[in-house]
Structure 1
């Protein structure tokens, strides 16, 4: 009995020590270090830069506009250059020598024909200055179709004797057809080449005489 009574206070002190340590461990376990929340960097509020595709399209449109302006300038120069000899040729072919202005219509017709011939030359020359990829065939074909269309259309609507209107319509058709023909041929030759897919794979053939190795593919 004395032994039990002597051990009882010692047991009480042990239990009291354990009970005092338990809440501290629970609190230590429950304390999780919180991560420090840092302010997020402010985003750039400036407008986004245009995509490369839009910038390339804008540059292409600007280059096309500049090329057409140069084509018009060069076409004016060559048309006027060939209109002068055309004037003298038309005047020389006139059979009426009754007065100074008797061959004016023939001379004007010759000048209009010379200008129509010079239009595709100027378009091709001016476009080549800015790296155009059009062809002579497309430019001359457009000029011929435009001049022919203008001539036929004017013959259907003008009166007989107003042949200067016919030559004027031919000149207008040659100018418009030269520009359209060149730009169409330029767009055709500016297209990127179609991608070609090549597949190659090894082949193994087993026969009575042994094994054969080779390559097979599609092009």
Structure 2
């Protein structure tokens, strides 16, 4: 087994390679505006660091969000392109929030919250680091304050809204290393994956104008 994992659903552009036993190479950069520019060089670095060839990859793991429209699509399109180029290897979708939960290692009820912009968070509830019990959803922090009261929280959204998530813990950013490790566990256990389709939860920020200004020749 050789899994190439990547996620661009958050400001972190993150890539990792997992050989079925452990992560053997990883790369992460936090830059919300340069997903498309940074992702392929990160894949190249990871492959060189591992000493493995891209043709040895047996599966792609990709974070499916929730996340902003543009960044999320970069990772999903790249995953599909690699899978096709490698002869149709499987693409395993994993909820981005599940990766953050897994990386936390928390073994009590907690929340994962990422920044959804528009003064909102993408969030989900977990029984432990491997078990999601609610969500994902997108809401304004004040609207979920009662639902998350008293629970530890991880993710950039928890750091951003400390008044709602006073017990904010690491990690703040997504890690493809955690995503790959979680996927390897799920594969070994025969557990299902998400479809490798974008999990938006709301419409894109950019909208096509409904009314165009009519320009008439003089």
Structure number with the bigger relative contact order (C-alpha 8 A, sep ≥ 6) is 2
TM bracket (short chain): under 0.3
Larger Rg: 1
Q: Normalized against structure 1, the TM-score is what? A: 0.23
Q: Normalized against structure 2, the TM-score is what? A: 0.23
Structure with the higher helix share, 1 or 2: 1
Structure with the higher strand share, 1 or 2: 2
